[in-house]
Structure 1
Amino acid sequence: MTIAGLARAGGVGVETVRFYQRRGLLDIPRRGEGTGRSGGIRRYGDAELGRLRFIRAAQRAGFTLDEVGQLLRLDAIDDKSRIRAMADARLAALDVRIAEMQAARAALSHLSSACDASGLDPCPIITAFEH
């Protein structure tokens, strides 16, 4: 597939693929042989699509692109213990973020209820955010 096909199959834009290539996360294949319309076009296969999908999934799990690069390098040398340590650190960070979001949800829920009961007084939501 072409770079456009790879991008489409991976659910990203062409510039995202190029950005990942510049970052060293995706390889840049050689240009094809020949002349005419098919000559000189880079072709991508299932391996590149798998790598692109891995990058996107790791990002959705909260890994930065630098960390994605580390995971790929660690996978290349089969260093499962360091990969697991990175995953455990990401889990801990997610737990902290989840706790923060739950606290924010509880506070906003309380303010929302107070807003209904405030009558003519200033809205507690706006008041809370101003301070």
Structure 2
Amino acid sequence: MNAHDREPAIAADLVGRRLDTRTPVAPEVAFAWRRTRTSQGRTRVEGLADEVGWSRKRLSARFRSQLGITPKRAARLVRFDHAARLLAAGHAVAGVAAESGYADQSPLHREVRSFTGLTPTAIATAPWLAIDDIAWPASSASR
């Protein structure tokens, strides 16, 4: 299995911990989370709402109340996590942007800065990526 196939570790851990500590979530919310993960954060909230038969507002409210974050925020985290793993594995920023569903390097740069305060190049070499061989197995051995 390559780095592209692994589930987004940071986002999955965040939501997974929430799922473990709360009452069971609605099947529609669980479905929306699974679709968010499998699409690597590229599924739009409107599309998820349509798939589960709810309005966007209802899905967002239920998702937030049951998982602690909105579906849009969850998608951003999953997409960022995917991009960060690719950067840590040594992929070029332009390619990472395209592979991760960003329009180009600028939105990737803004997202990385928003989540970490760093540039994409800086997170690729950040020491905190090198020490977590569970979340970043492909990059840990090479650092």
TM-score above 0.5, yes or no: no
The two structures have a TM-score, normalised by structure 1, of 0.22
Which structure exhibits the higher relative contact order, with contacts defined as CA atoms closer than 8 Å and separated by 6 or more residues? 2
TM-score (norm. length: structure 2): 0.21
